[in-house]
Structure formats: structure tokens, C-alpha cells
Amino acid sequence: MKIAVVGTGLIGQAWAIVFARGGHEVRMWDGHPDAITKAIPLIAEQLDDLKQAGLIDEPAATLLARIKGYQTLEEALAGVEYVQESLPELVDVKKEIFARMDKIVGPDTVLASSTSSIPASAFTEVLPGRARCVIAHPVNPPCLVPVVEICGAPWTDAKTVQKTWDVQQSTGQKPVKINKELEGFILNRLQGALLREAFRLVEQGYVDAEGLDVTVREGLGLRWSFMGPFETIDLNAPGGIADYAKRYGPMYESISKEQTSTEPWSDKVIGQLEAERRQYLSADKLLERRTWRDRRLMGLAAHKKAAEKDIGK
């Protein structure tokens, strides 16, 4: 399949890798004419890293050959069945690019946006082709973190959602269908619920930031990295998830009564967290630590691939 990647920043580059890895022909375009010239060598570097980590089966050069840049949007979109847009997170930017794309491509081409914060209804309502517009929200970088949240506007056609799901699935990504528009989609709503309690526990002096992080990275987060929260509790009571709800529901109900705050995170706790984090990692080391994070993510992806093969999904 021919796929266009619109926007060649970090997310766009990772999308190009994802689609090329899935065997597709990738046509890239960016509003800044020199952006594409810069993007291709960066993609080549990342392909080499992924190859070395065992996360690409074919030679890196084979994948790179599937990725090409174009100078005009019209050229990039010629003959494509699917477009993944990853321009800046501004509703006016999305409105403009979707209006332009909607005029260029045929009616069966899906127009998907990577936006994490703007619902599809905010920038597609007036378009003649609004039924083929949808959100396909990745986690950065999508070549290492496979989930893709698919969420349409009220007028998005079910076929558009299904085609987006099929395209993502065909590349090895893990698509999730969201049935109705909602702020933050699923991932950030779950993250927000946990963060709110985390901020509260630190603010009220129960635990420090490092203690809380240890609780998750050496405990709670381990099972979630290969099962998810529902399978985790399904296996955590002899009779499955309904049995779990019976045994532990009252405890969680009781706790929930202290988890109802809707105040903004206070300046006090933000300052406290910033100060504690900077003890572990000075501001000038943030960039270096992000490289570490991506190397750990790459190692984890390779581990999961092997574990699914050896032990099972």
C-alpha cells in the first residue's frame, strides 16, 4: 500500500519507519522544504539501531528504499490509500492541512491525525470528506511503543475506523478502537487518574517521588507491561475478575472516597517534585536521559518480542 506521512519531525520519522517495516511505500512531505532533507538521514540512523536490536527482519537499506520525500503535498499524496498527519498540535494547523488534503485525495483515502489532544470534530466538521477523517494517536516513538488509539468524530464512517485499524494492524502496531470521542482518549485518562493520586500522596507526605517511582517500576508496572490492568486482576483472584471485584472492590471503594480532588496540581507539590527530580537528574542531563530511555524501550521491545515467541502472548 502507498502511505503518506505528512510532517517529518520525530513522530513523522518514526511513522515512516513503522509503515516501511510493514512493507508499505512511504511518501513524506513537510511544510518546511528542508525538513525532509534532514529527516531521511535521521531515519537511516534509527533503522540501523533497530536492526541491531533485532526489531527489523529485513535489511535496513530495504526499508530505507521504501521511504521517499516529496516537495509538494500533491506529489506526496498521489495514489496513497492512507495518510498519517503529524504536524504541530495547533487546531488551526490541523484545520488547514486537513482542508488541503481533503481536496487532493480520492474519497476512499483515510486521513488520520497523530494528535494527542485535539478531537477530530474540532478540525474536520466542515470538510466534504469528513467521514474519512480520524485520529490515530501513537505514543512517541511509535516504532518502539506499538499502541495506536483510533478515535473518530461523530461523523467518521465506521469503514474509516476499520481501515485505519487494518493498516495499523498490518504493520505490527497494536490498534485500539475508541467508540466515542473523549478528552485525553484512553491512555492519558488512565495516566491522569494514576498521576492525580501520585501527586496527592507526595503532597500529603506519605511517600517521596523516588519511593513512588520505585513502587511502580519495581512492582505495579511490571505486570502491566505485558498484561494490562484487567488481565492482571483477572489472574489475581482464584475465580477471575468477578471474584477479584468481590474480594477487593470494597477496599477500592473505600480508597476512592479520598481520590475525588479536581483541584489543579498545586505549585507547592510541583515545586517539590521538580526539586526532588533534579537531585536525581540535573536539568542539563535530561536530553542524555531521554536517549537512555529510548535505548531501554528498544531493549524492552526486543525482550517482549522474544518472550512472546518463547513463552507465549
- Grid cell 485525495 is found at 105
Which of 35, 241 has the CB closer to a copy of itself?
241
Which of 51, 277 has the CB closer to a copy of itself?
277
Which residues, in sequence order, are CB contacts of 22 under 8 Å at separation 6+? 170, 171, 172
Which of 107, 264 has the CB closer to a copy of itself?
264
HEC string of the chain equals CEEEEECCCHHHHHHHHHHHHCCCEEEEECCCCCHHHHHHHHHHHHHHHHHHCCCCCCCHHHHHHCEEECCCHHHHHCCCCEEEECCCCCHHHHHHHHHHHHHHCCCCCEEEECCCCCCCHHHHCCCCCHHHEEEEEECCCCCCCCEEEEEECCCCCHHHHHHHHHHHHHCCCEEEEECCCCCCCCHHHHHHHHHHHHHHHHHCCCCCHHHHHHHHHHHHHHHHCCCCHHHHHHCCCCCCHHHHHHHHHHHHHHHHCCCCCCCCCCHHHHHHHHHHHHHHCCHHHHHHHHHHHHHHHHHHHHHHHHHHHHCCC
Which of 107, 205 has the CB closer to a copy of itself?
205
Least distance to a copy of itself from the beta carbon of 95, Å? 20
Instruction: Restricting to residues 105-124, name those near a copy of itself by CB under 8 A.
Output: 117
Specify the amino acid at residue 141: P
Instruction: Restricting to residues 130-149, name those near a copy of itself by CB under 8 A.
Output: 139, 145-147, 149
User: Is 260 an interacting residue with respect to a copy of itself (CB under 8 A)?
Assistant: yes
User: Is 91 an interacting residue with respect to a copy of itself (CB under 8 A)?
Assistant: no
User: Is 222 an interacting residue with respect to a copy of itself (CB under 8 A)?
Assistant: yes
Which of 81, 213 has the CB closer to a copy of itself?
213
Binding residues for a copy of itself, how many (CB under 8 A)? 104
Which of 106, 206 has the CB closer to a copy of itself?
206
Site string for a copy of itself, 143-182 (x = CB under 8 A): --xxx-x------------------------x-xxxxx-x
Which of 128, 224 has the CB closer to a copy of itself?
224
Which of 107, 180 has the CB closer to a copy of itself?
180
Instruction: Restricting to residues 274-303, name those near a copy of itself by CB under 8 A.
Output: 274, 277-278, 280-281, 283, 286, 289-290, 292-293, 295-297, 299-300, 303
Least distance to a copy of itself from the beta carbon of 193, Å? 4
The cell for 299 is 531493549
When binding is defined by CB under 8 A, the residue of 76, 251, 268, 279 that contacts a copy of itself is: 251
When binding is defined by CB under 8 A, the residue of 34, 57, 107, 254 that contacts a copy of itself is: 254
d(Cα 179, Cα 154) in Å, to the nearest integer? 10
Instruction: Restricting to residues 184-203, name those near a copy of itself by CB under 8 A.
Output: 184, 186-198, 201
When binding is defined by CB under 8 A, the residue of 92, 264, 268, 279 that contacts a copy of itself is: 264
